[in-house]
Amino acid sequence: MKTMASELFSEFREHSVSEFFRKNAAMLGYTGKIRSLTTIVHEGVTNAIDASEEIGVLPSVQVAIKKMNDSPEHFKVVIEDNASGIPEKYIPDVFGKMLAGTKLHRHMQSRGQQGIGISGGVMFSQITSGKPTKVTTSIGNGEMIQADVMIDVDKNEGKILNEEKSKGDWRGTRVELDVRDVTYVRSRYGPFNYLRMTAIANPHVQITFVEPDGTLTVFERATDKVPPRPKSMPLHPWGIMSDDLLALAKHTKSRTVTGFLVAELSRVTKAKIKEVQKLSGIDLNKKPSELTWEDAEKIVSAFKQTKFMAPPTEGLRPIGAADIENGMRQILKPEFAYAITRSPKVYRGGLPFVVETGIAHGGAAGKSADEAEGEEGETGGLELIRFANRAPLIFDQGGCAINAAVRSIDWRRYGVDTAAAPVTLFVNVVSAYVPYTSAGKQSIADDPEVLEEIRAAIMDVARELRQYLYRKIRTKERQQRAGIFEEYLPVIARKAAHLAGVEVPDIKKLIEKVAGVKVGGKRETPEES
Amino acid sequence: MEKGKRQKKAEKSLSEFGSGIVKDISEARPPKLKVPSRSTSNIFYDEKNRYFVLGNKYGIRSAANVKQVKKIAQTLCVADFCKELIEANKFATLREMYYTAEGWDSGPFNDQGESDVIVEDLEAMFGVKREDLGLTPEEDGAAVYGEIVVREDNTVIDATKAGRGGYTIPPTIDDVEFLKCKAKRVIAIETMGCYHRFVQEHAWKTFDALIVGLKGQAARATRRFLKRVNDEFELPVYIFTDGAPFGFHIGMVIISGSAKLAYINHELAVPDAKYIGVTASDIVNYKLPTDKLRELDIARLKQLQKDPRYNTEFWQGEIKKMMELGKKAEQQAFAKYGLPYVVKEYLPAKLKEVEGEDFIALK
């Protein structure tokens, strides 16, 4: 495994790793000044949460972004967790080797589907600022390690520049990245919203965030239960992508591509491989290590045209309606929240997926002031937060099936004014085979089955919201109604008694009867004025 | 009905209204108001009495209805306001009541239309006129000249000694006592110009008539006056207006009452009153100077043609003739033949038509 990554990039031999990084910046999430910063935070936080869950610890993640004085585009990003810590000898690999993470060969519905892990952040920092990344870690044995890590771009290896050991009773990892050419904004594309969305979809995580201006926000956890780890299972050929295939190829013990495909993928037989060979025109008897990127792309495309048995539907790990509701209540403090997890469905003839939706009304739900579409000074409006396997989808919203589903709904029918209502709509698409539209993995393709299922799931929660809004209006009306009777019935009694020249009759019983309320307290009108 | 009786009836109605509601409330039953409907579907022309009357449709207003409870409270406040007026022997105009309501427990009205409707409700519910409830219309009635003597409180007035303008009919005409009347007929005249012509030419003396100036559409007080002299002295009433659709209708409202006040027409309509002119036939027969009918006039004539009140041979003929002529004429058009002509020539001819040869007892 030590040499895996360098082998993987054998095809890029003629280029340096940093060139590879620049070339694939879009796929890795490092495009644009705002997005690059959000991606670094994402990689760090994902690492932290995964590491905590792995050892069954409730994740507490602290994030701080500090502005450096010399330039408005120069920041220090600090991410600290309470997970297992990293043993000394693994530090260079974890932070200094691209694609050296432990996730690639374990195929599961994972939150870190995108990017190349924290080493990408180290690389970005190194390219932009030329500074090493400061790592502080302890496995909880009383010894703390402080190391400055850089990537040797020629060897694709981690390099430790300085290392210090000290005594300390603490466990976890703290990473400090020095980055330039990035911008901090509090828009929906920035780190704040990313963390807020992460907190909603991961109610067992506590996130503390310090912004460049010193603002401290604590996203408290809403549950003490660590969710079960997604089960690792072989990938189905319909859901695999080129980079996955290459990574698998470098890792396999099989001698031929055919043998490796049958062994590593689900529902693949030798007979099917023959079809794939014909369709792709690639000699599948060659060594897995000889597979090129182009080969991988052709094989993936051939897979899509081949009939395989559908993958098993078990193993999907939705967040669960209760936890989505908890997450929304904790972070948005709404007046109303409701969530559902739909039963598994399949698309493209058998790829299983689950859609979960949640809706919140009131409190901090809805678009924030700077995002609102309405008149200046107006806040609110329908806010859509998208997730795939719990991971926030922040960019490319326009082309996303979730967005298309939201727009296809006539929200007025549900009593929602999309320009003004304080409503946040949560949508999570769960699958080991999320159909992303592009390598950036920020939006979901509009396969008809997926789109229709998302739409149905949104309408489920929208109906519940409509019920709530209706009840709210009814209650208000009832109170107003009672107020009207309490105001006018005593007048009627008083005036009628004066006309008849008799004592004013007791009106309380009649008010209780027609208004359905007890008369009492300060609302009661004096008998004679 | 004389004044005391009217007041008693109004007071009794108000008191019974109150005690019914008190009883409901004591028994925890939501009070209900049964208000005769004044929608067009409930207004009928009573062929026998020859005026408009209300049918038996009622609107029920319930204090258990959130949309009606305020209106009921307002109705009670109006009723109580009336009770106080009657007890203090005072009158207030509808507008004064509207302003008084600013301080009521049921809150102010949005506009005077709202409070006026409640007064109509009470009139229809009790079958008494607003004047009996202490409320008066805004405008004075018109003027009367002729041999009638009336008493307002302690003042005795002879309508031939009340100046050239005659006796002004007050809004509170029902409070006025008619002491004696030597006149034998009443001539009601649309325009005040023509009224003064009749007074100047001594028509009141020549024809033993009370000359009444209507000032256009007759006010409630004027109609009430006509009704009373018709009832109390059995004087025939003749109406003389412009020869135009709007003139015709001024006459008809006196005769048959208006649809809007159908619930109270038994107190206002003078079914035996007779319209004497100017008719379409007069325009032809007297070769009167004319104006062309405007579009509005023609539309109005068409309406009248279908109105049950005009469903007589005389009216249908006159309406048709006017439409054929395409012309209308004012009552003052007779001045063409000299100022006295209308009194000296036209009026005797007309009266002979309606009263026959008996009328010749001219002075």
Cα separation, B79 vs A500, in Å, equals 11
Q: Which one of A491, A507, A513 has the shortest CB-CB distance to B105?
A: A491
A222 lies in some domain: no
Q: Which one of B15, B25, B66 has the shortest CB-CB distance to A510?
A: B25
- Domain boundary (A452, A469, A486) is at A469
A163 lies in some domain: yes
Query: Given the structure tokens 């090129």, which residue do they identify?
Result: A292
Helix (H, G, I), strand (E, B) or coil at B68: coil
pTM: 0.61
A129 lies in some domain: yes
Within 8 A of B79 by CB-CB distance, chain A residues are 495, 499
pLDDT in tens, A242-299: 777 877 787 778 888 888 888 888 888 888 888 888 888 888 888 888 888 888 889 9
Per the CB < 8 Å rule, is B28 touching A509?
yes
A458 lies in some domain: yes
Give CA A46 to chain center in angstroms. 10
| pLDDT reported for residue B239 | 95
Within 8 A of B69 by CB-CB distance, chain A residues are 484-485, 488-489, 492
Tell me how far CA of residue A109 lies from CA of A135, A315, A318, in angstroms.
28, 9, 10
Closest CA to A40 of A151, A178, A235: A178
Chosen from A484, A486, A489, A491 to mutate, greatest number of chain B CBs within 10 A: A491
Q: Which one of A485, A489, A496 has the shortest CB-CB distance to B22?
A: A496
CA torsion, ordered A209, A211, A217, A223, to nearest 10 deg: -30
Same structural domain for residues A142 and A284? Answer: no
Helix (H, G, I), strand (E, B) or coil at B88: helix
Per the structure, the complete domain to which residue A341 belongs is given by: 321-469
- Domain boundary (A156, A184, A212) is at A184
A522 lies in some domain: no
- Decide if A172 contacts A82 (C-beta within 8 A): yes
Per the CB < 8 Å rule, is A496 touching B31?
yes
Within 8 A of B20 by CB-CB distance, chain A residues are 496
A46 lies in some domain: yes
| pLDDT reported for residue A526 | 37
Give the catalytic positions of B in this structure: 99
CB of B82 less than 8 A from some CB of A? no
Same structural domain for residues A330 and A460? Answer: yes
The CATH number of the domain holding residue A299 is 1.10.8.50
Same structural domain for residues A326 and A457? Answer: yes
Length of chain A: 529
- Domain boundary (A469, A502, A523) is at A469
The least confident of A351-355, A486-490, B137-141, B239-243 is B137-141
Most distant CA pair in chain B, distance: 75
Within 8 A of A485 by CB-CB distance, chain B residues are 66, 69
CB of B312 less than 8 A from some CB of A? no
What sign for the dihedral angle of Cα B155, B161, B165, B166? positive
Q: Which residues pair with B275 in a beta bridge?
A: B239
| pLDDT reported for residue A175 | 95
Residue A162 tokens, joined: 């300085």
Cα separation, A431 vs A449, in Å, equals 14
Per the CB < 8 Å rule, is B80 touching A499?
yes
CB of B12 less than 8 A from some CB of A? no
> What contacts B74, CB < 8 A, 6 or more positions away?
B101, B104, B106, B107, B109, B114, B115, B118
Same structural domain for residues A330 and A263? Answer: no
CA distance A474 to chain B (A): 14
Tell me whether strands B327-328 and B291-292 are parallel, antiparallel or unpaired: antiparallel
Same structural domain for residues A363 and A405? Answer: yes
- Mean pLDDT on A136-159: 88
Helix (H, G, I), strand (E, B) or coil at B70: helix
The CATH number of the domain holding residue A69 is 3.30.565.10
Same structural domain for residues A412 and A342? Answer: yes
Q: Which one of B19, B21, B66 has the shortest CB-CB distance to A492?
A: B21
Residue A356 tokens, joined: 């979960």
pLDDT in tens, A454-503: 999 999 999 999 999 999 988 888 888 888 999 999 999 999 999 999 99
| pLDDT reported for residue A176 | 96
Give B73-119 as a DSSP string.
HHHHHHHHHHHHHHHHT--EEHHHHHHHGGGSTT---SSHHHHHHHH
A115 lies in some domain: yes
- Mean pLDDT on A509-528: 59
Cα separation, B228 vs B72, in Å, equals 34
Same structural domain for residues A329 and A275? Answer: no
Query: Given the structure tokens 């939501």, which residue do they identify?
Result: B30
Same structural domain for residues A88 and A127? Answer: yes
Same structural domain for residues A337 and A451? Answer: yes
Same structural domain for residues A459 and A359? Answer: yes
Same structural domain for residues A331 and A373? Answer: yes
Total tally of structural domains belonging to chain A: 4
Same structural domain for residues A299 and A329? Answer: no
For all residues of chain A together, what is the average pLDDT? 84
A293-304 and A242-251 helices, crossing angle to 10°: 120
CB of B85 less than 8 A from some CB of A? no
- Decide if A35 contacts A194 (C-beta within 8 A): no
A199 lies in some domain: no
Q: Is the ipTM here above 0.85?
A: no
Residue B236 tokens, joined: 């025939």
